[in-house]
Copies of this chain bind each other. A is one copy, B any other.
Amino acid sequence: MRCGAGIEARQVNELFINIDPIQAGGRLTADAMKAVIAYGDGYSVCDNCRKPNRLDYINKPPIADFHKDVAKWLNMDDVRTVPGARRGFQAVAQTYVGKGDPVLLTSLSHYTEFLAIEEAGGCVREIPANENRMITPEATAVKIEEVKRECKKDPVLAFIDHVDYQYGNMHDVKAITKVARQYDIPVVYNGAYTVGILPVDGKDIGADFVVGSGHKSMAAPAPSGILAVTSERSGEVFRTTAIEGDVTKRKFGIKEPEMMGCTLMGATLVGMMASFPQVKERVKHFDRELENNRIVLEALLSISGTKILSQYPRKHTLTRMDTVASFDKVAETHKKRGYYFSNALEEKGIVGIIPGATKVWKFNTYGLTTKQAQYLAEAFIAIASENGLFSQ
């Protein structure tokens, strides 16, 4: 089946159990699918755009209300939609980071935070994770002192990933933020794996900025995301344009330079809005997701030699495994080498693990039903058994 010349229609989620680490929270809801058709044209949301002519003021469809609802939901003061979490990082970095300014990241930070700082001309300083791959408030304080000595100035921003993309570990962002605030360092809470997945309370955390990803965790089309801010920071990152044409003397009203004017339109925005009621509901039931994750992990850990690299018990469904001493041993002599593992999974209707990977790999059980989790657990056991891992 094709949806255009040379483009096969994708059916991954229709035909398989998909445990891809980054795809789990972004799958569209049925309402979002309806929305991307009804609002497929980008400027569709502009039908009823009236003065002051800015996206977040439009009432039909209810875009203005959506912005207010998201702010309230995250317990922050102001929200804008952005084309992906990375564009939220970029807006904040462009506002606060000058040439050579040090910016705190962590040794588990996502590459898009690095790029945002690079583009703004800043230099990165990573708070090191401890031996358990956790970022601690203590390490944060030590790093800040180190930066002050080395760079002769305080870090201008700190980007903290609540749940990191490498291990899916949940760091004590509230305690880390408390340390940063003692040095008056504004904190960007990276909620790419949390906003839309579990409850997030920006004020309780103490974050200046909360960034979320629509296509990673809010069941929305890409590129989409949100940037939520406190009232204190709103006038900074959402300042309105001050530029003026030298000949025409034109000004541009309440358009915001860091947002490049209006941001998301059509399918991306209305898709995010259409999924939002279900997203708000699902974050209340993350315990069920952890329970499904536990079912799969217990099966995996029953296979001798299999280790979990993520914190355990799990606090998030994104999980990193070490199977050097189990599934990878099979690969050494298997005629398909490492591909036997992903092939065997695919034959059982499971996709999402990098083909060929048998040493260290990630998966995400988010969104599976309990039945699917049980099936997945049995599949891992069966593959281990078929390849003699229980008879050793």
Binding site for B on A (CB under 8 A): 3-13, 20, 22-23, 26-28, 31-44, 46-47, 60-62, 65, 83-84, 86-87, 89-90, 94, 105, 107, 109, 111-112, 114-119, 124-128, 214-216, 220-224, 241-248, 250, 252, 255, 257-258, 260-261, 263-268, 270-271, 273-277, 351
Closest-CB distance, A274 to chain B (whole angstroms): 3
Pair B248/A107 contact, Cβ less than 8 Å: yes
Q: Is the CB of B26 within 8 A of A43?
A: yes
The residues of B that contact A241 with a CB separation of less than 8 Å are 111, 114-115, 118
Q: Which of B8, B32, B250 contacts A61 (CB 8 A)?
A: B8
Instruction: Report the minimal beta-carbon distance from A86 to chain B, rounded to whole angstroms.
Output: 4
CA of A10 to CA of B214 in the docked complex: distance in angstroms? 22
Cβ-defined contact, A23 with B40, below 8 A: no
Please, which residues of chain B bring their CB within 8 A of the CB of A242? 118
Bound complex: CA of A42 vs CA of B264, how far in Å? Answer: 14
Cβ of B90 and Cβ of A265 under 8 Å apart? Answer: no
Contact call A42/B118, Cβ cutoff below 8 A:
no
Contacts A83-B87, A271-B40 known; A4 to B119 CB distance under 8 Å? Answer: no
- Cα A361 to Cα B87 in complex, Å, equals 34
* A3 & B35 in contact (Cβ 8 Å cutoff): yes
Would you call A33 and B44 a contact (CB within 8 A)? no
Nearest B residue to A63 by beta-carbon distance?
B7
Does the CB pair B246–A215 fall under 8 Å? no
